[in-house]
Amino acid sequence: MLSLGTKIAGLARQRRRWETLLRSMPRTQSLARDFDPAFDRLTEVTGFGSNPGALRMFEYVPADPQPALVVVLHGCTQTAASYDFGAGWSTLADRHGFVLLLPEQQRANNANNCFNWFSAGDIERGRGEAMSIRCMVEKMIVDHGIDRRRVFVTGLSAGGAMTSVMLATYPEVFAAGAIIAGLPYGTATNVKEAFESMGQVRARSARELGDLVRAASPHKGPWPRVSVWHGGADPVVKSKNADEIIKQWTDVHGLDLAPTSTERVDGYPRQVWRNPAGKSVIESYTIPAMAHGTPLATGPSDEHVGVPGDFLLDVGISSSYHIAKFWGLTGHPRAVPIRRSESASIVPAAPRQHRATAGTSSAAGDPIGDAPKPTSPRPRLIDVQAVITHALKAAGLMKS
C-alpha cells in the first residue's frame, strides 16, 4: 500500500501539471472575473428536497413556456449564471420556449467550484450531488408541468462529466444528454483517478464501460440519446475521453462502434449512430484545433448564441444550438430580440432573490423530503482523501 507521503507527492505532481496547462491556455476577456449582474437572468429556487449534495438551484422560465426542461451544468470556476450567459442557453429558451434548470456548485463543497464528478459519494444514485440534481429536476417537473418524456441534461468539463453521472444514475429521467469536454461515467472515484482519467485516459473495452452504466441503476432501458462534443487540441481533458464516451454509450445502446454515417456541419465532422429503427441515438462532434471549452458561434443568426470567454470558444459552430436541435427542441422558433452583450463579462452575480417553495415527493421512487438551507455545506466524513487534501493545502500545493 502506498504511504501517505507518496500519495501526496503523486497528487502534487498531477495538480502542478494541470494548473500549468490551465495557465498556459490562451485567454479571452474573462467571463469569470467581471460579470455584470444585469446579465444574470436566473431566479434561485429553494425547498427542492433533501439536497444531500448541498448545491444551489436556479431556473429560467421564458414567456409562455413549453413543457420541456433542459438541465445545464457549468464547468469549474464558473457559476450557473456565467455559463448560461456564455453558452447562450436562456437566449435559446426564449427562442424555443423550453424551461431551464441550472444547478450551481458551492465553494464549500469544491474550492474550484467544480461538480464532484470524481467523488464516490456524489456519483451514485440516491446520494450526494447526483441526488440533489435529481431533486431539482422533480421540483421543476411539478412546478412547471414538464413532460417527463422531455427532460434533457448538458454540461461542460466537470459539468460534462456530471452529465455522464446523471445519464448513468438516472437514465429513466432523461430523454437525452450532451457531454462537452467531459468524461465517461465511472472512470474515477477519487482525485488521483480523476487526474489520470483526464490526462492519461486508460482505454477500456466497450463492454467494461457499458457495464459501469448498467450497474449504476436498476434501469433496463430504453436508454438516453447522447451528444458528445470535444476539442481535438484539448490539453485539460484529453480528446480520447470522447472516444471512451462513445464506446460506453454504443455498448449501452447495443450498437457497433463504427458510426452509421458521417457528415460536415458548419465545417466540422459529425458522426451519427442510428438504432435499428433508424433513429439517431448518438452523435459526436470533434473540433480539431479547439482547446478546452464549449464551442460557440456568435452573430445575428438564430443558430448563433452566447458570448466568448474563458472556456467559451468562438469556433464558428454553436454547440448549444445544435444540441437543442438534436433533442428536437428547435422547431418553430419565436421572434425575440437578440441580446447585444458582446462587451459584458461574467463572474458570480450579486445575491439573487430566493423563491421559497414546498418540497415534493418523487414519482420515480427516490425519496425527496424537506430541504435544508441550500447554502449549508454538506457534512463530510473524515477519510484519507481529506487528510491528503489538508496536507496539500498546508504545503501550498492546493489553493484554498
Pick 267 or 372 by higher pLDDT: 267
Q: What is the mean pLDDT of residues 253-278?
A: 97
* Rounded average pLDDT over 125-145: 98
Contact of 223 with 210, CB cutoff 8 Å = no
Check whether 161 has a pLDDT greater than 70. Answer: yes
Q: Is the peptide bond before 222 cis (omega within 30 degrees of 0)?
A: yes
Instruction: Label the pairing between strands 151-156 and 99-104.
Output: unpaired
Q: Is the pLDDT of residue 232 over 50?
A: yes
Selecting among 157, 164, 227, 320, the annotated active-site residue is: 157
Confidence of residue 35 (pLDDT cuts 50, 70, 90): low
pLDDT of residue 1 exceeding 70: no
Measuring CA to CA, how many Å separate 308 from each of 204, 325, 341, 346, 367?
35, 21, 10, 10, 40
Q: How does residue 91 score in pLDDT terms, banded at 50, 70 and 90?
A: very high
- How many Cβ atoms from other residues are within 10 Å of residue 352's Cβ? 16
Between residues 334 and 5, the one the model is more confident about: 334
Model confidence pLDDT, tens digit, residues 314-325:
999 999 999 999
In three state form, how does the secondary structure of 80-129 look? HHHHHHHHCHHHHHHHHCCEEEEEECCCCCCCCCCCCCCCHHHCCCCCHH
Contact 294, 311 (CB under 8 A): yes
Which residue is associated with the grid cell 438551484? 57
Q: Which of 347, 230, 225, 227 is nearest to 295 (CA)?
A: 230
pLDDT at 43 over 60: yes
Asked if residues 130 and 124 have their Cβ atoms less than 8 Å apart, the reply is yes
Q: What does the pLDDT read at residue 383?
A: 38
> Is residue 345 flagged as an active site residue?
no
Provide the pLDDT for residue 9: 58
- Average pLDDT rounded to a whole number, residues 52-58: 98
C-beta of residue 59 within 8 angstroms of C-beta of residue 100? yes
Percent of the chain with pLDDT over 70: 74
pLDDT tens for each residue of 13-31: 555 555 554 454 444 444 4
Average pLDDT over residues 202-212: 96
User: Higher pLDDT residue, 398 or 74?
Assistant: 74
> Residue 374 has what pLDDT?
36
- Closest C-alpha to 48, from 163, 130, 140: 140
pLDDT range class, residue 95, cuts 50, 70, 90: very high
Which of the four pLDDT bands, split at 50, 70 and 90, describes residue 300? Answer: confident
pLDDT at 33 exceeding the cut of 60 = no
